[in-house]
Structure 1
Amino acid sequence: MKVVIGARLTPVVARIPGVRPWMVTCAGAALGVTGGVLLAVGWAWLGALAAALGQVLDAVDGQLARMTKRESKAGAFLDSVLDRYADGAMVIGCVIYLVRLPAPLPMWALLALGGLALLGSNAVSYSAARAESLELVVGPPTLVSKGTRSVVMIICAAGTVVWSPSPLVAIIYLAVHPTAAVVYRIVRAYRNN
């Protein structure tokens, strides 16, 4: 979805004088971090909107780079690094939001799940990049991509309108699924290489 919306927005952004892909990358990351902050202070639906807009810009930056012939390794690196910050801000925002609620779980459990969600989200991206750099066969891409992780957090943040502790679903998903994917990749690396 973000790619479809991004494809329509990219030509519009390309016509803005002076806009470079790295600027769009930074704006998208800033929106993702803003989404996490808004979620943390209790404005979950607004945080979901900011994070969703950040995701759209995350699609626009690469499309803009290709369209304007400004693709670069440094730009791809910047995009990957800032994606981790936007992801992390949303995870932290979810945890702070949940801690402020009337106890869906004890604080220690929320902090443990949040920590595991942060570690898993970063490790799944790192394990894919590291395996690729070492030319290890670890299997096809999984449903724990950055896009999937972000969509889960955005939907759960928006879902607070219906069920206030819905970010708990995102935190549990992010604590379990990315870690399972990393374990799977490690096993595949040892079996296939």
Structure 2
Amino acid sequence: MDPLYAKSVKPRPREEYLNSRLFRPLAHLLVVPLARTRITPPQVVMFHTALGLLAAVLVARGGGWVPALLLQVKTVLDNADGQLARATDQTSELGRYLDTEMDLLVNAALFAAIGSVSGQWLLAALAFCVMTLVLTVDFVWESEYRAARGEIFRDPPVLEGGSVRLLVLLRAFYTFFYVPQERWVRRWGERRFRAVVGPSPTGAQLKAARLAYTTGNTVAVLVNFGLTTQLAAAGACLALGQPVAYLWLVLLQGLTVLYLQSYRERAARHALRTLIA
């Protein structure tokens, strides 16, 4: 494996197949020349954000192949900014917040555009909320998976850079918008876990149940609901002239998360029964 590519890849316990097989290698083709320039990861973020917003405008005007293709180019560049940051030791707190929040902006614009072109405003708003929550659950469950196994979830940024005021603003928005979601998902999941293990589990029971509850099977499913796959599915629906179909696909993902939660609980119960037996 190319050492630069190996350095640029963000390790995850399970793969988002479309990302790892297609979009990440395509992004690396851009990272190699970009690493020799003065172009920074935040600049790449702003460029792919502009492409995503342009795609949303075109969707609102009728959709078709052009916005579908722009979303895939946006995905390649979205991978490239993170890979460039890791490859050139430019990871920063500002970059992480900027990337996350610009993705949210594009997602909101895309769902608004689908609502506009289809007239299904309520369905589009609901689907946007569901997708945002699904991505948050993916984030939380991966962090819990790693914590249960004593692994580091996210390495600290290598350096900090950029405007301090912008960093404060981005951090404040993240705290306002994302932190309550993450806290709610964690608390709800922990309540469900405690209901499974009971009021006074032994240390061995608690550990076995925790490992089973944070099973990699659910992480493997959720990682493939990541943003790369989301925009690929949205692009396919747009290209086929069926933007509303994507909204229903997102709602189906929400139901899948509920099933995965029940799977986690069954896995924890099975671990407890096995330990007792």
Aligned to 1:103: none
Among residues 42, 48, 52, which one is paired with 1:28 in the alignment? 48
Aligned to 1:105: none
State yes or no: 1:169 paired with 2:235.
Answer: no
Cα gap change, 1:25 to 1:188, in 2 (>3 Å) = farther
Which 10-residue stretch deviates more, 41-50 or 30-39?
Answer: 41-50
Give the letter for the 2:133 counterpart: A
User: What is the CA–CA distance in structure 1 between the aligned matches of 2:237 and 2:77, rounded to whole Å?
Assistant: 20
Among residues 74, 77, 83, which one is paired with 1:54 in the alignment? 74
Aligned to 2:238: 157
Aligned length, in residue pairs: 176
Aligned to 2:96: 76
SS at match of 1:15: coil
Contact 2:138 2:219 in 1 (8 A): no
Contact 2:48 2:78 in 1 (8 A): yes
User: What is the CA–CA distance in structure 1 between the aligned matches of 2:75 and 2:106, rounded to whole Å?
Assistant: 10
State yes or no: 1:111 paired with 2:155.
Answer: no
User: What is the CA–CA distance in structure 2 between the aligned matches of 1:185 and 1:127, rounded to whole Å?
Assistant: 11
Superimposed CA distance per residue, residues 38-74 of structure 1 (whole angstroms, 9 cap, x where no aligned partner): 1011243221222121111001101111221112343
Give the letter for the 1:145 counterpart: G
Question: What is the root-mean-square deviation in Å for CA atoms of aligned residues?
Answer: 2.3
SS at match of 2:68: helix
Contact 1:113 1:175 in 2 (8 A): no
Aligned to 1:184: 259
Superimposed CA distance per residue, residues 80-122 of structure 1 (whole angstroms, 9 cap, x where no aligned partner): 22222222222222222222xxxxxxxxxx2332122101110
Could you state the TM-score of these two structures normalised by the residue count of structure 2? 0.57
Contact 2:56 2:113 in 1 (8 A): yes
Contact 1:124 1:181 in 2 (8 A): no
Give the letter for the 2:230 counterpart: R
SS at match of 1:141: helix
Cα gap change, 1:63 to 1:156, in 2 (>3 Å) = same
Task: Please identify the structure whose Cα radius of gyration is greater.
Answer: 2
Shift of 1:129: 2.4
- Percentage of matched positions with identical amino acids: 25
Shift of 1:154: 1.0
